[in-house]
């Protein structure tokens, strides 16, 4: 378990203050894959580096497995090399002057292990990452995917308490990235190790994580399991960031059983809201394209809005299209077996339980 | 925490080494009486800077230093690009070309060029005249362009040793992506390669500017006969006209060189502060990629061969020739029967020459090693600890380097005489390191700039202490930079003159001082013989160190 | 053998008369000479061999001489026991109290002016002459008087030290006037102007003057006859003008020397006729000991006169003056 309390880190550049970390409070569960997700520049790397100890925050506290490794108040700073963590860098940081074996055995040497112990463990970890037989290759003479695995092996070999990843797949090509992501998931789940994973790629985050923390401008704005974050985001930023979404404004009007009714320019829209709201308060609803069904006529118990089909694009698995409702655009997906054409008049229908109402 | 302590320690060490002599000079420049160090006056500054000639001198100096720096840097870029990035044949030539002038004593080099290009009977001039049926000699070495040419050649090694490592460690993907964007090799070179190499190029340019500002050999041997005065010869004039040489006044004039250098260093830091974030060695960028020169391969090789011929072979031949002749004579058949090994025998029998060889070897090997160790720490702080105090450290390291040589030597003397080291070889050692620290720092900081922080950080994450990281990761990656620094420092120490001439005493004689004595006595034959011995020893050291460096840095392709 | 005998007699004699103690001198073991003179290592070796006292020769160039000696002196670290240098420098050292009086009887065979100062003994003259390349300048072309340098045929063929900044050269040019070499001040000025019109090449001091002459880059120049000896067999010769001028060279004892006896012994040895002969033979110096001449053809017939030493202010003033004439 890693506990982070009130972490702050400001940079001063050109007379401006950049709040890279702005009061971060999170708990990272043990033996789970925890992902920091957010747009580039939101402070993910800074947070990661603070945990490893490569960055000294201005204030706050970091506790790893019960040991405080950083505290501005108590004036504690455990240096990186004493924190016993493993990390895979974005650039992999494979030392070009060493062989693969030397790269991987390095953390063990620093633990002052015996030679045969080192050999054994390097062998084991090389088998694990499927790089057997590469021991004596110079580190510069391997592919990007292999470098990534060397970096992983190096991070794992000393059996660290926590392994941290900073966008480790961003240097790989799309296909390899997908493959590696899958491998990594299985791998980390099997090992049952605590992993902190930084990425700006939502798909990566959803696919890999047990828990996701979404960051924006130096703050963690939401934490939750992938499905929670995806289906029940608590802010439009998260909703938008985590996947394609249609968002429209409205005002609270009333409660209707388990649902809340929102007054919008399309009429009343039913959806789920977390918490209680007073009437006439500004709010918005959103619905993901994949939950929208196009119908020829409105259906009962569903939110249905009439519009016209536009911009039908075939992208393989399905069509992407837009429905124009008096100038308001809904993004939708259409399964390839539907027989629809552009300019057809359609009803945009979606279930209230997938319609999320938030008040931000 | 550690970084702060390191920065502080280094500021103290480097500050002590460089401020002491400069402070003595500053003090001296305000004193009426240097003998007793008493009386305060502004008079020297007023006199020095109200001299109506001063403006002209400044103009000449600016043209001279900028010209030399430009020439040396462009040539170094050309040679290092050809060497590290193309498939030009006989690559070993480049390293040789670019380093040899480093080892030739500057007076000898300048005199060789006078013999070749003087307007009366310069060998090349006569040759050209006969070849093209000219009525007059075409080239006059005693001109500003002549000075720039020779000084530029002399400073070429500095430029090359800074630019070449950066060039060879360049992340190829940056160029590749430019080519993908449709740019030609040449366009890529100008739009991508050069701008990315800006820190190294600027470093080389500034270093050559500062060096030529302090240079005396070329301005005195070539400039004075051409009646072209620059700052260093102007200072010499001040010292020479009168028996109680006014070093206070000389220091007052020298202060402007010092100020100019400090400003330059700040401009340099400012201009490269952004670029230093561009990092060029990542773990992927280490594979060699070679530009195929195709049909221009041999013409380009011919150009390089010609430059090398001019640069090394001609002056060295001149040296060998003068070492064999009883006096300086224009080459002709008549000289042949007069040639003998007499000068060589004289030199090899001369106990002072031998002692000076021994001392210089000691200073060149041991001194350079200490200097490089200090430089590794200093450049680490300068590059990786980007605080204000790191900037201070960098400026400090340039202090005594940027002072015109004839004056700084006296500053060191005023300082050392107050210590027990005075008159010993250790005074020379410390003086050399303090003065030529930038030679150690520049190539090393270029190298540091290129080592991505993450290579160092990942070592820490792997549990390595600071010193383990230094020993196992940073130093091995730095080997090319360390080799460059060591060679620059060692060859410099091996032929150092300006400080030595003031600080060396019986027992601590060094090669350059002995060479100067031969030159003052007009013994050009012995001077050339000793010069060749010097070049030979220096080359041997350089070759050995390069080989060791190559062995140590396996990744260096 | 004969030499050894002579030396022994010389020493026996000297013990009787002079004030220093030869035993003490031997115990002091060594003597350090600061000098700016051309390679005199052979003389020092001879001294060591003759006396058993190690002669150390610390060579310091003129431009750094005073700075070095005064710096060391004020820090209490002056290593020198005996100093040798141009007169004006020694004068300044004398004024600062660095020097000690010497026994004038050591200079018995010297002209009176050489021993006129109680502290500084003059032993030679740094004589200047027109030096030419004897392979390229022959017969009637060889200059016979200074004015011959102004012949337009020598345009761009002359080398000389910079008359605007080089102290010794400035003093020498002024010496030509004060010794009335040309008959009148106007003739002297005329000489300067015509010399300037011949566009001589300026170098920083005398030492770089012979190189361009021997290589044929220039044909002749204002230089020193001693190079005829030191640079032999270079084809150099001197124009046989009847008067040569030069700055006197002096030698003096250091007041606070820690080896006073060895210093005195060296001082005396230095001024001895045999040492002076060696100085003349080996380095071509013009020495003041009676009847001793350097082995340069015709030099014994020349009148070699010491010039008046100018003060630094005068040098600066005349330097500025010459600059107007020579740099135009
Ligand atoms: N050393 C630094 N100096 C100044 N600003 C920095 C520095 N490092 C990071 N920043 C700024 O802090 C913010 C957060 O950076 P970072 O943590 O790297 O973001 P992310 O990894 O989420 O892309 C960015 O705006 C970045 O520009
Ligand atoms: Mg990042």
Give the 3-state secondary structure of B33-47.
Answer: ECCCCEEECCHHHHH
Taking a contact as any Cβ pair under 8 Å apart, which residues of chain A between 152 and 181 contact chain B? Answer: 154-155, 158
Residue of C nearest to B217 (CA): C204
Q: C68, B409 in Cβ contact below 8 A? A: no
DSSP state of B244: S
Strands (E) across chain C are located at 30-35, 54-59, 82-86, 99-100, 121-133, 158-161, 201-203, 220-223, 236-238, 243-254, 286-287, 303-306
- Interface residue B388 vs chain A (CB under 8 A): no
Q: Which fold has domain C20-125+247-301?
A: D-Maltodextrin-Binding Protein; domain 2 (3.40.190)
A83 CA to middle of ligand 1, Å?
A: 23
Nearest-atom index, ligand 1, CA of A49: 17
Instruction: Tell me the ligand closest to A89's alpha carbon.
Output: 2
Residue C285 clears pLDDT 60, i.e. is over it: yes
Say if strands B31-33 and B38-40 run parallel, antiparallel, or are unpaired.
Answer: antiparallel
Higher-confidence position of B178 and C262: C262
A270 — phi, psi (to 5°)?
Answer: -100, 140
Contacts of B519 in chain C (CB under 8 A): 207-208
Q: What is the mean pLDDT of residues A75-82?
A: 86
**Cα distance between residue C7 and residue C4, in whole Å:** 5
B461, A80 Cβ separation under 8 angstroms = yes
Q: Which tokens hold the place of C123?
A: 């032993």
Confidence of residue B215 (pLDDT cuts 50, 70, 90): confident
For residue C121, give Cα distances in angstroms to A144, C35, C87, C101, C168. Answer: 84, 14, 9, 10, 19
Strand partners, A358: A284
| CB-based contact B517 C39, cutoff 8 Å | yes
CATH code, domain with B101? 1.10.3720.10
Question: Rg of the Cα trace of chain B?
Answer: 24
Sign, CA torsion B266/B268/B273/B277: negative
**From the CA of A238, how far away is ligand 2's center (Å)?**
19
Ligand with smallest separation from the Cα of A167: 2
Do B398 and B545 have their domain in common?
Answer: yes
- Mean residue pLDDT of chain A comes to 88
Same domain? For B212 and B324 the reply is: yes
Atom of ligand 1 nearest to the CA of A46: 17
Kindly identify which residue of chain B lies nearest to residue A106, measuring between CA atoms.
Answer: B462
- pLDDT tens per residue, range C151-191: 888 888 899 998 988 888 999 999 989 988 888 888 899 99
Q: B356 with B483, same domain?
A: yes
| Closest Cα in chain C, distance from residue B272 (Å) | 40
Is the Cβ of B179 closer than 8 Å to some Cβ of chain A? no
* Rounded-to-integer distance, Cα C35 and Cα C61, Å: 8
Q: Which ligand is nearest to the CA of A42?
A: 1
C102 alpha-carbon distance from chain centroid: 20
Question: What per-residue confidence (pLDDT) applies to B61?
Answer: 92
The residue of chain A nearest to residue B285, with distances taken between CA atoms, is A140
In a domain, B242, yes or no: no
Task: Please report which ligand is nearest the Cα atom of A218.
Answer: 1
| Same-domain check for residues B122 and B153 | yes
State the pLDDT at residue B189.
74
pLDDT at B147 over 90: yes
List chain B residues with CB under 8 Å of C83.
none
Tokens of B32: 């009426």
Indicate the length of chain C as a whole number: 328
Searching chain A, which residue's CA lies closest to the CA of residue B453?
A93
Closest in C77, C92, C203 to B225, CB measured: C203
C-beta of A49 in contact with ligand 1 (< 6 A): no
Q: Which residue has the higher pLDDT, B325 or B136?
A: B325
Output the pLDDT for position A209.
92
Task: Indicate if B1 and B100 belong to the same structural domain.
Answer: no
Q: What is the pTM of this model?
A: 0.74
Quickly list H helices, chain A: 44-52, 100-110, 115-128, 144-156, 174-191, 202-208, 226-231, 236-242
pLDDT tens-digit readout, C44-81: 888 888 888 888 888 888 878 888 888 888 888 888 88
pLDDT digit string, tens, across residues B503-554: 887 788 898 888 888 877 777 888 889 888 888 888 888 888 888 887 776 5
Of C71, C96, C166, the CB nearest to B413: C71
Question: Residue B126 above 50 pLDDT?
Answer: yes
Q: Judge if the beta carbon of residue A18 lies within 6 A of ligand 1.
A: yes
Contact status of A29 with chain B (Cβ, < 8 Å): no
Helices (H) and strands (E) in chain A, counts: 8, 21
The pLDDT of residue B146 is 92
With cut-offs at 50, 70 and 90, classify the pLDDT of residue B283. Answer: very low
**What φ, ψ does residue C288 adopt, rounded to 5°?**
-95, -10
Q: What ranges do the domains of chain C cover?
A: 20-125+247-301, 127-245+302-326
Residue B519 has a CB neighbour count (10 Å cut-off) of 21
Average pLDDT over residues C195-215: 88
**For ligand 1, atom 24, which residue shows the shortest CA distance?**
A41
Contact present, C224 and C61 (Cβ < 8 Å): no
Residues of B in contact with C167 (CB under 8 A): 240-243
**Tally of CB atoms within 10 A around B355:** 16
CA A81 remoteness from chain centre:
27
Query: Percent of chain A at pLDDT above 70?
Result: 99
Q: What is the model's pLDDT at position C259?
A: 86
Domain count, chain B: 2
B293-318 pLDDT per residue, tens: 667 778 888 888 887 777 777 878 88
Interchain CB contact of B177 with A (< 8 Å): no
For chain A, say whether B310 makes contact (Cβ under 8 Å). no
Is residue C23 over pLDDT 80?
no
Looking at the structure, tell me whether residues B330 and B352 fall in a common domain: no
**pLDDT above 80: residue B38:** no
Chain B positions touching A81 (Cβ under 8 A) are 460-465
Which of the four pLDDT bands, split at 50, 70 and 90, describes residue A335? confident
**Interchain CB distance below 8 Å, B120 and C157:** yes
- How big is the A-B interface in CB pairs under 8 Å? 94
| CATH fold match for the domains C20-125+247-301 and C127-245+302-326 | yes
Q: State the Cα–Cα distance between residues A353 and A344, nearest whole angstrom.
A: 27
**In degrees rounded to 5, what are phi and psi of residue A87?**
-145, 140
Question: Does residue B193 belong to any structural domain of this protein?
Answer: yes
| Cβ contacts of C225 within 8 Å, gap of 6 or more | C127, C129, C131, C238, C244, C284, C286, C294, C296, C299
Among A13, A41, A164, the mutation site with the greatest number of ligand 1 atoms within 8 A of its Cβ is A41
Q: Are the beta carbons of B281 and B477 closer than 8 angstroms? A: yes
**pLDDT tens sequence across B12-26:** 888 888 888 888 888
Neighbouring chains of B at 3+ CB pairs under 8 Å are: A, C
How confident is the model at residue B179, as a pLDDT?
55
Domain residue limits at B443: 1-41+342-557
Token pair 């099997």: residue? A190
Say if residue B284's pLDDT is above 50.
no
The confidence score (pLDDT) of residue C17 equals: 44
Q: Which residues contact B363 (CB under 8 A, 6 or more apart)?
A: B425, B428, B429, B432, B493, B494, B496, B510
CA of A21 to the centre of ligand 2 (A): 13
Check CB contact under 8 Å for B477 and A96: yes
Q: pLDDT grade, residue B111 (50/70/90)?
A: confident
Q: Which residue in B287, B455, B465 is closest to A95 by CB distance?
A: B455
Token output for A193 = 């190790």
Residues B429 and B487 in one domain: yes
Å between A80 CA and nearest CA of chain B: 6
Most confident of A207-221, B43-57, C91-105: A207-221
**Whether residue B191 is found in the same domain as residue B83:** yes
Contact criterion met (CB < 8 Å) for B284 and A90: no
Of C67, C201, C203, the CB nearest to B247: C67
- Structure tokens that stand for C48 in this block: 């060591």
* Residue entry with tokens 């021994």: B358
- Whether B207 and B98 have beta carbons less than 8 Å apart is answered as no
Nearest residue on chain C to B243, alpha-carbon basis: C89
What pLDDT is stored for residue B184 in this prediction? 63
Kindly report the protein residue whose alpha carbon is nearest to atom 14 of ligand 1: A43
Whether chain A lies against chain B with 3 or more Cβ pairs closer than 8 A is yes
Residues B335 and B347 both lie in one domain: no
B238 assigned to some structural domain: no
Residue B316 located in a structural domain: yes
Contacting partners of chain A (3+ CB pairs under 8 A): B
pLDDT > 50? residue A322: yes
Task: Report the pLDDT averaged over residues C128-142.
Answer: 89
State which H helix or E strand residue B84 sits in: helix B54-85
CA–centroid distance, A17 to ligand 1, in Å, is 11
Q: Range with the lowest mean pLDDT among A128-137, A291-300, B218-227, B382-391?
A: B382-391
- Reply yes or no: is the peptide bond before residue C80 cis, omega within 30 of 0: no
pLDDT of residue B278: 45
Residue A282: pLDDT over 80: yes
Q: What architecture does CATH give domain C127-245+302-326?
A: 3-Layer(aba) Sandwich (3.40)
* Co-location of B2 and B84 in the same domain: no
CB A11 less than 6 A from any atom of ligand 1: yes
Torsion of CA B182, B185, B191, B195, to 10 degrees: 140
More confident residue, B230 or B406: B230
Q: Do A52 and B461 touch (CB under 8 A)?
A: yes
Closest Cβ opposite residue A91 in set B283, B477, B479: B283
- B466 to chain A: nearest residue by CA? A81
Of C206, C132, C126, the residue nearest C163 (C-alpha)? C206
User: Average pLDDT, stretch B385-390?
Assistant: 72
Query: Which residues in chain B touch residue A92, judged by CB atoms under 8 angstroms apart?
Result: 283
Residue closest to B98 by CA, chosen among B50, B30, B155, B143: B155
B371 and B322 in a single domain? The answer is no
Q: Say yes or no: B215 and B311 in one domain.
A: yes
A41 in contact with ligand 1, CB cutoff 6 A: yes
Query: Of the segments A58-72, B132-146, B383-397, B446-460, which one has the largest average pLDDT value?
Result: A58-72
Q: For ligand 1, atom 4, which residue shows the shortest CA distance?
A: A11
- Strands of the sheet with A293-295, listed across from one edge: A293-295, A345-350, A303-314, A319-325, A328-334
Residue B287 pLDDT greater than 90, yes or no: no
pLDDT, position A132: 86
Instruction: Show Cβ contacts of residue A57 under 8 Å, excluding neighbours closer than 6 positions.
Output: A7, A8, A9, A21, A50, A70, A72
Instruction: Please report which confidence band the pLDDT of residue B285 belongs to, taking 50, 70 and 90 as the band edges.
Output: very low
Ligand in nearest proximity to the CA of A47: 1
Pairing of strands C220-223, C158-161: parallel
Q: What share of chain A is helix, strand, coil (3-state, %, to 5)?
A: 25, 40, 35
Report the share of chain B in percent with pLDDT over 90: 9
- Higher-pLDDT residue of C254 and B329 is C254
In whole angstroms, give the CA distance from residue C167 to residue C310: 9
Closest C-alpha to ligand 1, atom 1: A11
CB A224 within 8 A of CB A47: no
């Amino acid at each position: 378990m890693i506990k982070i309390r009130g972490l702050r880190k400001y940079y001063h550049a050109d007379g401006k203050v950049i709040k890279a970390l702005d009061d971060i409070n999170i708990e990272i569960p043990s033996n789970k894959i925890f992902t920091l997700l957010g747009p580039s520049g939101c402070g993910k790397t800074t947070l990661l580096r603070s945990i490893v100890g490569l960055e000294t925050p201005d204030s706050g506290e970091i506790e790893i497995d019960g040991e405080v490794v950083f505290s501005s108040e108590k004036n504690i700073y455990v240096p990186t090399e004493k924190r016993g963590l493993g990390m895979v860098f974005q650039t992999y940081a494979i030392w070009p002057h060493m062989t693969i074996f030397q790269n991987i055995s390095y953390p063990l040497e620093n633990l002052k292990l015996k030679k045969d112990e080192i050999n054994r463990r390097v062998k084991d970890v090389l088998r694990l990452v499927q790089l057997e037989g590469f021991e004596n290759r110079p580190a510069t003479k391997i592919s990007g995917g292999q470098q990534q695995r060397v970096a992983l092996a190096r991070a794992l070999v000393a059996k660290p308490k926590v392994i941290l990843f900073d966008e480790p797949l961003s240097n790989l090509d799309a296909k390899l990235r997908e493959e590696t992501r899958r491998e990594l998931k299985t791998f980390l789940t099997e090992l049952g190790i605590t992993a902190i994973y930084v990425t700006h790629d939502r798909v990566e985050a959803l696919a890999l994580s047990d828990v996701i923390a979404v960051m924006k401008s130096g703050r963690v704005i939401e934490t939750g399991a992938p499905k929670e974050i995806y289906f029940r985001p608590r802010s439009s930023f998260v909703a938008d960031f985590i996947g394609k979404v249609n968002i429209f404004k409205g005002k609270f009007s009333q409660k209707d059983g388990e649902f809340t009714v929102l007054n919008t320019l399309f009429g009343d829209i039913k959806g789920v809201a977390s918490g209680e709201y007073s009437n006439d308060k500004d709010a918005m609803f959103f619905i993901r394209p994949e939950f929208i069904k196009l119908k020829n006529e409105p259906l009962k118990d569903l939110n249905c809005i009439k519009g016209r089909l536009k911009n039908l694009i075939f992208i393989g698995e399905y069509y992407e299209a837009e429905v124009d409702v008096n100038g308001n655009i809904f993004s939708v997906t259409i399964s390839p077996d539907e027989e629809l054409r552009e300019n057809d008049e359609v009803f945009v229908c979606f279930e209230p339980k997938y319609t999320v109402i938030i008040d931000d | 925490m550690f970084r702060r302590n390191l920065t502080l320690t280094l500021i103290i060490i480097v500050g002590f080494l460089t401020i002491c002599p400069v402070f003595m000079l500053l003090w001296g420049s305000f004193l009426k009486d240097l003998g007793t160090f008493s009386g305060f006056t502004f008079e020297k500054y007023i006199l020095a800077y109200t001299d109506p000639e001063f403006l002209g001198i400044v103009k000449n100096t600016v043209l001279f230093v900028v010209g030399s720096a430009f020439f040396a840097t462009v040539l170094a870029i050309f040679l290092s690009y050809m060497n590290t990035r193309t498939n030009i044949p006989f690559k070993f030539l480049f390293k040789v070309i670019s380093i040899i002038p480093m080892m030739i004593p500057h007076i000898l080099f300048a005199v060789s060029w006078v013999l070749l290009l003087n307007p009366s009977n310069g060998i090349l001039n006569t040759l050209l005249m006969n070849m093209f049926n000219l009525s007059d000699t075409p080239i006059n070495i005693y001109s500003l362009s002549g000075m720039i040419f020779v000084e530029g050649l002399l400073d070429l090694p500095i430029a090359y040793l800074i630019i070449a490592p950066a060039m060879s460690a360049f992340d190829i993907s940056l160029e590749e992506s430019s080519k993908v964007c449709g740019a030609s090799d040449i366009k890529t070179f100008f739009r991508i390669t050069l701008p990315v190499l800006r820190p190294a190029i600027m470093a080389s340019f500034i270093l050559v500017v500062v060096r030529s500002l302090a240079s005396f050999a070329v301005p005195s041997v070539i400039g004075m006969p051409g009646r072209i005065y620059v700052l260093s010869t102007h200072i010499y004039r001040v010292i020479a006209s009168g028996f109680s040489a006014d070093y206070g006044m000389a220091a007052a004039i020298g202060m402007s060189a010092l100020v100019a250098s400090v400003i330059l260093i700040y401009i340099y830091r400012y201009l490269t502060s952004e670029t230093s974030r561009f990092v060029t060695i990542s773990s992927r960028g280490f594979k060699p990629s070679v530009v195929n020169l195709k049909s221009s391969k041999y013409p380009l090789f011919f150009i390089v061969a010609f430059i090398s011929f001019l640069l090394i072979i001609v002056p060295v031949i001149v040296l060998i020739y003068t070492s064999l002749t009883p006096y300086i004579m224009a080459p002709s058949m008549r000289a042949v029967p007069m040639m003998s090994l007499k000068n060589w025998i004289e030199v090899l029998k001369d106990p002072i020459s031998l002692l000076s060889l021994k001392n210089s070897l000691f200073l060149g090997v041991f001194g350079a090693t200490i200097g490089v160790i200090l430089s590794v720490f200093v450049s680490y702080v300068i590059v990786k600890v980007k605080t204000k105090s790191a900037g201070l450290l960098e400026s400090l390291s340039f202090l005594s380097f940027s002072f015109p040589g004839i004056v700084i030597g006296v500053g060191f003397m005023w300082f050392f005489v107050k210590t027990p080291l005075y008159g010993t070889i250790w005074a020379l050692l410390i003086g050399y390191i303090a003065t030529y620290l930038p030679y150690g720092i520049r190539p090393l900081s270029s190298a540091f700039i290129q080592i991505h922080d993450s290579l160092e950080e990942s070592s820490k994450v792997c549990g390595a202490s600071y010193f383990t990281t230094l020993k196992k990761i940073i130093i091995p990656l730095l080997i090319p930079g360390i080799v460059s620094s060591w060679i620059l420092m060692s060859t410099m120490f091996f032929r150092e003159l300006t400080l030595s001439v003031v600080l060396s005493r019986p027992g601590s004689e060094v090669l350059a001082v002995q060479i100067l004595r031969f030159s003052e006595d007009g013994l050009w034959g012995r001077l050339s013989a000793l010069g060749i011995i010097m070049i030979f020893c220096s080359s041997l050291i350089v070759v050995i160190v390069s080989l060791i460096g190559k062995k140590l840095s396996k990744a260096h392709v | 053998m004969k030499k050894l005998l002579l030396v022994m007699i010389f020493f026996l004699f000297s013990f009787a008369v002079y004030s220093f103690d030869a035993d003490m001198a031997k115990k002091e073991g060594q003597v350090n000479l600061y000098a700016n003179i051309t390679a005199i290592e052979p003389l020092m070796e001879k001294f060591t061999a003759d006396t058993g006292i190690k002669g150390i020769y610390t060579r310091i160039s003129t431009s750094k001489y005073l700075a070095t000696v005064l710096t060391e002196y004020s820090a209490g670290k002056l290593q020198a026991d005996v100093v040798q240098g141009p007169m004006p420098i020694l004068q300044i050292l004398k004024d600062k109290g660095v020097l000690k009086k010497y026994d004038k009887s050591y200079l018995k065979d010297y002209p009176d002016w050489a021993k006129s100062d109680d502290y500084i003994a003059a032993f030679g003259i740094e004589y200047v002459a027109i030096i030419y390349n004897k392979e390229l300048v022959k017969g009637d072309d060889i200059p016979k008087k200074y004015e011959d340098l102004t012949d337009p045929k020598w345009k761009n063929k002359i080398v000389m030290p910079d008359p605007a900044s080089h102290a010794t050269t400035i003093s020498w040019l002024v010496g030509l006037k004060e010794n009335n070499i040309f008959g009148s001040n106007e003739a002297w000025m005329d000489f300067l102007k015509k010399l300037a019109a011949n566009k001589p090449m300026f170098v920083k001091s005398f030492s770089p003057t012979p190189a361009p002459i021997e290589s044929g880059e220039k044909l002749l120049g204002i230089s020193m006859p001693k190079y005829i000896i030191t640079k032999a067999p270079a084809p150099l010769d001197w124009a046989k003008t009847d008067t040569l001028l030069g700055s006197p060279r002096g030698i003096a004892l250091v007041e606070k020397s820690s080896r006073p006896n060895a210093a005195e012994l060296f001082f005396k040895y230095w001024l001895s006729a045999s040492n002076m002969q060696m100085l003349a033979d080996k380095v071509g110096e013009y020495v003041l000991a009676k009847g001793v001449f350097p082995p340069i053809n015709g030099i014994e017939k020349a009148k070699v006169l010491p010039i008046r030493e100018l003060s630094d202010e005068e040098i600066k003033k005349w330097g500025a003056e010459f600059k107007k004439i020579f740099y135009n």
